C-alpha cells in the first residue's frame, strides 16, 4: 500500500492535556510529519466514529483525509484494542489480526477463541513488521 491512511484513536478528536491518549496521538502525528513512517498519512486524535465514517467527520466539521477511509486504526491501550478487536469479530462478523508493536520484535496477540485465519493473519502481519536485519 503506497500511502496507508492511519487513524490514531482517542475518546475525543482534539488534543486535551487531561486525556493522555490525545497527547500520544499528537506525538505520533508529529513523528509521522517528521518522516517516521514515509508515505503514511497519519491523523489523530480521532474518535472511532469519525475514523471510520466520513459523514461523522463532516458533521463535526473535521477536515480529514483519513476519516471514513482509514486503513489502520491505532488504539491507545490494550483494553481499548481488545474491545475493538472483539467487536469487529463478534458484532461485525470480521476477521482481525492482532499485533503489539514497541518491543524488540512484534508480539502476536490473538484470543484463545480466534479463528485459524485470524491466527495465520496475525503471524503474517508480525513477519511483515519484523525489523530488517542490519
Q: Residue 6: what pLDDT?
A: 97
pLDDT for the residue 109: 86
pLDDT digits (tens, 9 = 90+) for 83-118: 998 898 899 898 888 888 888 899 998 888 899 999
- Give the pLDDT band (50/70/90) at residue 130: confident
Average pLDDT over residues 128-132: 81
Confidence of residue 132 (pLDDT cuts 50, 70, 90): low
Rg of the chain over all Cα atoms, to the nearest angstrom: 15
d(CA 64, CA 72): 15
pLDDT tens-place string over residues 58-89: 999 998 999 999 999 999 998 998 899 889 88
Phi, psi of 79, rounded to the nearest 5 degrees:
-60, -50
Q: Spell out the residues 6+ positions from residue 118 whose beta carbon is closer than 8 angstroms to its own.
A: 89, 95, 96, 97, 98, 110, 111
Model confidence pLDDT, tens digit, residues 5-48: 999 999 999 999 999 999 999 999 999 999 999 999 999 999 99
Amino acid at each position: 500500500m503506497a500511502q496507508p491512511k492511519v487513524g490514531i484513536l482517542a475518546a475525543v478528536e482534539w488534543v486535551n492535556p487531561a486525556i493522555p491518549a490525545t497527547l500520544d496521538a499528537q506525538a505520533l502525528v508529529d513523528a509521522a510529519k517528521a518522516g517516521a513512517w514515509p508515505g503514511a498519512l497519519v491523523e489523530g486524535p480521532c474518535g472511532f466514529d469519525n475514523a471510520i465514517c466520513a459523514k461523522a467527520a463532516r458533521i463535526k466539521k473535521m477536515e480529514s483525509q483519513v476519516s471514513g477511509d482509514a486503513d489502520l486504526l491505532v488504539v491507545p491501550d490494550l483494553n481499548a484494542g481488545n474491545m475493538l478487536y472483539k467487536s469487529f469479530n463478534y458484532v461485525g462478523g470480521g476477521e482481525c489480526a492482532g499485533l503489539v508493536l514497541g518491543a524488540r520484535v512484534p508480539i502476536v496477540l490473538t484470543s484463545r477463541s480466534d479463528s485459524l485465519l485470524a491466527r495465520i493473519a496475525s503471524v503474517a502481519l508480525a513477519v511483515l513488521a519484523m525489523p530488517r536485519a542490519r
